[in-house]
Structure 1
Amino acid sequence: MADPLTDAEARFGALQSYQVTLRSTHGAGVQEVIRYFYRKPGWVRMEFEQPHRGAMLVYAPDTRRVRLWPFGLGHWPALDLAPDHPLLHNPHGHRVDRSDVGVLLGNMLALRQRGSMLPPDAAAWAGQPATALDITGPPGGGADTVQRYRVWLASDTLFPLRMDSFAANAGLLESVDMGDAQIDVRFPEHFFTP
């Protein structure tokens, strides 16, 4: 495996869907637990466990709109929002329409292109064999800008199992555990159009 990051992006390009429980911690200690579902060409469904337990949203790439049920599917109100609506951003401004693993891998490749990557390291995460990568951008990033990524890719699928991002001051911006990912899941017909 000469270039695991490029290979990981190619593997993402070949998959059709995935589901994962995102367990993230932001630098300020804010924790999120979200059941995340993705199907190409960009359908996203998020079911929130922490914070906002019971909230659910669906992003439809054909309409470029987000349907949000703040109190759970079937409960009033149901909001129809643009993906850049402030109500939908997490503490780092991530957007639902740019939240999939392909976007993350693309960001890592772009940072590596401007900076550097240490040689891959054999590791393990969540009991799975993994390849650990450390990617650092050029000096001069802002306080909220990712300056460095540390990522663990599953050895068999090259799907990210964990990702840590750091600011220029080396402070942790976000840590995300994706150790329970399932690839090429067959979702029910109306799963993304409830």
Structure 2
Amino acid sequence: MFKPQLVAGLIATLALGAQAADVLDAAISRFVALASYRATVRSVGTGGEGQLIRYGYRKPGWVRMAFVRPHAGAVLVYDPGARKVRLWPFGVGYLLVLTLSPDNALIRGEHGHRVDRSDVGALLANLAALRDRGSAAPLGDAVIGEQQVTGVEVKGAGDANVAGVHRYRVWFARDTLFPARVESYGVDGQAIETVMLEDVERDVAFPDDFFRPER
């Protein structure tokens, strides 16, 4: 027997999925149009120890991280042309400078994160890849701090995952669609990491020596 309520429910589900996909696609388009950004990044992993990093990014892939917690004072710069990382363990201006590969265990994150895949563009690419292997659903509007945000949940079908993440819950700033909060979960349902992006500045005109502080 034809059950119109089931059809209506299916249509509503498809519409919600399309709405979430639209938000993600729009966020990707906004990022593609960006030249650079700066943010304060706060993260908490499963170990409970948090990180606080002043993060700068400029296309085609320059990254600068200034650590506040842990390793206070340390500065790390990734050069996408050389595909190398310069690390000042005690801060810029000290004689000790290390040149490392981005996959060096010394600078890999708690969950294997790499500096050359640490920017918002890499996050959005992971979200799109996981959505293509699963689904996306809206989480609705909310407020984080004083910021109006809209949320999207992306989940892999079955045990599908991207870089070990099976489910993301992401809240985007409603005015810019820049990520404000990202929660990641494994296939077992356990939380992996929560990341907050605060004090975001977009299309920053960084000084010439920002990503080459040794010059």
For residue 49 of structure 1, report the CA deviation from its aligned partner: 0.6
8 Å CA contact retained: 2:46, 2:193: yes
Q: Which amino acid in the other structure matches residue 93 of structure 2?
A: G
SS in structure 1 opposite 2:60? coil
Give the equivalent residue in structure 1 for 2:141. 122
Which moved further from structure 2: 176-185 or 9-18?
Answer: 176-185
For residue 120 of structure 1, report the CA deviation from its aligned partner: 4.9
Asked if residue 99 in structure 1 is aligned to residue 129 in structure 2, the reply is: no
8 Å CA contact retained: 2:34, 2:203: yes
Question: Which of residues 21, 27, 30 is equivalent to 1:8?
Answer: 27
8 Å CA contact retained: 2:134, 2:160: no
SS in structure 1 opposite 2:128? helix
Q: Which amino acid in the other structure matches residue 151 of structure 1?
A: V
Give the equivalent residue in structure 2 for 1:181. 200
8 Å CA contact retained: 1:141, 1:167: no
For residue 26 of structure 1, report the CA deviation from its aligned partner: 0.2
Aligned length: 193
Larger Rg: 2
Asked if residue 75 in structure 1 is aligned to residue 94 in structure 2, the reply is: yes
For residue 169 of structure 1, report the CA deviation from its aligned partner: 1.7
Q: Which amino acid in the other structure matches residue 203 of structure 2?
A: D
Give the equivalent residue in structure 2 for 1:158. 177
TM-score (normalizing by structure 2): 0.86
Q: Structure 1 regions of 5+ residues with no counterpart?
A: none
Q: Structure 2 regions of 5+ residues with no counterpart?
A: 1-17
Between the aligned partners of 2:193 and 2:139, the Cα distance in structure 1 is: 21
Give the equivalent residue in structure 2 for 1:37. 56
Q: Which amino acid in the other structure matches residue 163 of structure 1?
A: V
Give the equivalent residue in structure 2 for 1:131. 150
Asked if residue 87 in structure 1 is aligned to residue 106 in structure 2, the reply is: yes
For residue 172 of structure 1, report the CA deviation from its aligned partner: 0.9
More helix by share: 2
1:25 and 1:57, CA in 2 relative to 1: closer, same or farther beyond 3 A? same
TM-score (normalizing by structure 1): 0.95
SS in structure 2 opposite 1:188? coil
For residue 165 of structure 1, report the CA deviation from its aligned partner: 0.3
Identity of aligned residues (%): 50
Asked if residue 61 in structure 1 is aligned to residue 91 in structure 2, the reply is: no
8 Å CA contact retained: 1:21, 1:181: yes
Between the aligned partners of 2:156 and 2:127, the Cα distance in structure 1 is: 9
For residue 156 of structure 1, report the CA deviation from its aligned partner: 0.8
Give the equivalent residue in structure 1 for 2:15. none
